[in-house]
């Protein structure tokens, strides 16, 4: 598996077959760093970070269905890469919003080194979301 800058084709491919609940569509256009993870030429994930200020940002990741076959390796690589990006960008706090009724996304956030901080009512299409946070060094 390797990570590279994402292309418009990557974003379109994941957008058409995403395992998310649809939050992907607006994220790439507002993201500062966008990357793709692939294995043997097959696109498994795209993700990115939107830097909100010099030390804080939002993160998102979206997976292709076949990524679920390689979850352990994929999560390890993404966890390390997100840590690298935090260091590279000087971020000390990274946040992620996850739908409360999407247990797979909750587990993914936890595997990527995030911990639950709070519940945000009416956050995603008037539904609650969980705020996950990863701090520098986590």
Q: What is the pLDDT of residues 70-79, one digit of tens each?
A: 888 999 999 9
For 15-71, how does the pLDDT look when each residue is reduced to its tens digit (9 = 90+)?
Answer: 777 766 544 555 556 678 999 999 999 999 999 999 999 999 999 999 988 888 888
The pLDDT of residue 109 is 95
CB-CB contact of 118 with 127 (8 Å): no
For 115-133, how does the pLDDT look when each residue is reduced to its tens digit (9 = 90+)?
Answer: 999 999 988 788 899 999 9
DSSP 41: T
Q: How many domains does the chain divide into?
A: 1
Residue 32: which domain range?
2-135
CATH number at residue 127: 3.40.630.30
For residue 97, pLDDT over 70 is answered with yes
Write out the E strands in 40-102.
42-53, 56-63, 93-99
């Amino acid at each position: 598996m390797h990570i590279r800058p994402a292309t418009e084709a990557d974003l379109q491919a994941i957008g058409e077959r995403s395992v998310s609940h649809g939050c992907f569509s607006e994220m790439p256009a507002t993201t500062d760093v966008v990357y793709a993870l692939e294995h043997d030429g097959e696109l498994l994930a795209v993700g990115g970070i939107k830097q909100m200020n010099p030390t804080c940002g939002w993160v998102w990741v979206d997976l292709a269905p076949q990524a679920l076959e390689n979850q352990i390796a994929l999560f390890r690589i993404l966890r390390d890469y997100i840590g690298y990006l935090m260091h590279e960008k000087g971020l000390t706090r990274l946040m992620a919003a996850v739908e409360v009724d999407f247990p797979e996304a909750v587990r993914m956030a936890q595997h990527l080194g995030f911990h639950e901080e709070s519940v945000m009512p009416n956050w995603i299409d008037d539904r609650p979301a969980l705020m996950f946070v990863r701090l520098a060094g986590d």
